[in-house]
Structure 1
Amino acid sequence: MTFRRSPLALAILGLLENGPMHPYGIQRLIKQWGKDQVVNVGQRTSLYRMMVRLEEAELITAGATERDERYPERTTYHLTDEGRRICREWLSEILTTPRNEFPEFPAALSFVMLVTPETAGELLSQRRELLTKRISELHLELRSEVDGQPIPRFALLETEYQVAVAIAEAKWIDGVLHDLQTGKLTWTPGPV
């Protein structure tokens, strides 16, 4: 069975490399390690559905079920040899091959002419402010510690990447805002 990769599937397989875990533990680790900035685990049901799909594809297998009066039943999952192989294959493909991922922002830019240049400038200025805040938050994350020790750089590479992308986007927006303000960029027809 061919399994379509996703960031969540890759995260699950990657975390199971360290040993058996139950879905709640996986979700908790993703959030603790800040990986929820690049992997959507907001809805636990999505995580559980993905675990079922990975098990059906024989990339993971269910192990023991833990019972504790304080918590619901928790089934522990193990990575299969095929799951380990697929995880490495996906990682290699993703790291080597750029791919168009269809993010929302470029899609919205493709229809920016539906608002006036003035409105576009206001909206992009708001985005620029939020990017500045996001860059500051990411810089704090890069300096975070666990048990008084700095987090190793390899564990923060995705955050470094997010900072670089946010800075590049902010710089690009600055250029567009400049061009809108100077009239170099417009889509409002002038007098005939």
Structure 2
Amino acid sequence: MARENTCRFAVLGMLCRKPMSGYGLRRAIEQTVGHFWQESYGNLYPTLERMEAEGLIALDREERSPGGRVRKVYRVTTEGRRVCAGWLRRPVVPHVERNELLLKLFFGARVGPKDSLAHVERSRAEAEGLLDALRRIDEDARREREGDPELPYWHLSIRAGLLGLEAHLRWCDEARATLQGLARAQAAKKKRGKQDAR
């Protein structure tokens, strides 16, 4: 069964919070759910057009950007709120992980520990940066949105991201130790081979 295009539900959810332009939606997604939900922004504007044609959203107003461009600001309709609520109540479609790092490590014996270790180190550095950013998002949300009824729900997703990144960093440390051990064993074996050849 083909997976449903969930871009429309990300848009509906954001527009249930307040009217926004396509540009505003893009920024809102990046600044809120971006740590766990990526949208193709090339898909965003066609999705807005389809949703407007379907009556899920409507033009709220037009406004000029600082650069002079006209931006359409959309609001969610009653039908859009109904569709969004229906989607929120449906069971979650099981997620199939596609992790290139793990795939490369699985086949890592073909190239040896040095290349695999480099992949792990890059992943660890990226995770550290994401963890710092997510901690700032969490602090800002708690400070700026204190008392907001949506805050406990936001915090659940932020907390999942924090715990996931912390676990990934621990795993990176274990992977690093294993790969460094393999590199040392490989170097020792190579050294013994050269000595035996003398």
Using the size of structure 2 for normalisation, the TM-score is 0.68
Stretch deviating more after TM superposition (170-179 or 157-166): 170-179
- Please say if residues 67 and 73 of structure 1, whose CA atoms lie closer than 8 Å, have aligned partners that are also in contact: yes
- Identity fraction in percent: 23
**Counterpart of 1:109?**
105
* Residues 82-161 of structure 1 aligned to structure 2 (within 5 Å): 82-93=79-90, 96-145=92-141, 150=146, 152-161=151-160
* Residues 6-155 of structure 1 aligned to structure 2 (within 5 Å): 6=6, 8-31=7-30, 33-40=31-38, 43=41, 45-56=42-53, 58=54, 60-66=56-62, 68=64, 71-93=68-90, 96-145=92-141, 150=146, 152-155=151-154
* Change in CA separation of 1:102 and 1:55 when aligned onto 2, cut-off 3 Å: farther
* Larger fraction in helix: 2
CA distance in 2, matches of 1:119, 1:69: 47
Deviation, 1:120, is 1.0
**Counterpart of 2:194?**
none
Which residue identity does 2:120 align to in structure 1? L
Secondary structure of 1:5 counterpart: coil
Cα deviations by residue, 1:43-101 (Å, 9 ceiling, x for unpaired): 4x432122123334x2624335525496433334343444333323433446x453214
CA distance in 1, matches of 2:20, 2:85: 19
CA distance in 1, matches of 2:101, 2:87: 26
Which residue identity does 1:131 align to in structure 2? A
**Counterpart of 1:4?**
4
Deviation, 1:134, is 2.6
The 4+ residue runs of structure 1 with deviation greater than 4 A are: 67-70, 145-151
CA distance in 2, matches of 1:42, 1:5: 11
Deviation, 1:11, is 1.9
- Across the aligned residues of Structure 1 and Structure 2, the Cα RMSD in angstroms comes to 3.7
CA distance in 2, matches of 1:157, 1:139: 13
Using the size of structure 1 for normalisation, the TM-score is 0.69
CA distance in 2, matches of 1:81, 1:38: 28
CA distance in 1, matches of 2:142, 2:154: 12
Structure 2, unmatched stretches of 5+, are 191-198
Deviation, 1:117, is 1.5
Stretch deviating more after TM superposition (175-184 or 119-128): 175-184
- Please say if residues 35 and 161 of structure 2, whose CA atoms lie closer than 8 Å, have aligned partners that are also in contact: no
**Counterpart of 2:195?**
none
Deviation, 1:5, is 2.8
Is 2:170 aligned against 1:174?
Answer: no
* Change in CA separation of 1:159 and 1:72 when aligned onto 2, cut-off 3 Å: same
Deviation, 1:109, is 3.5
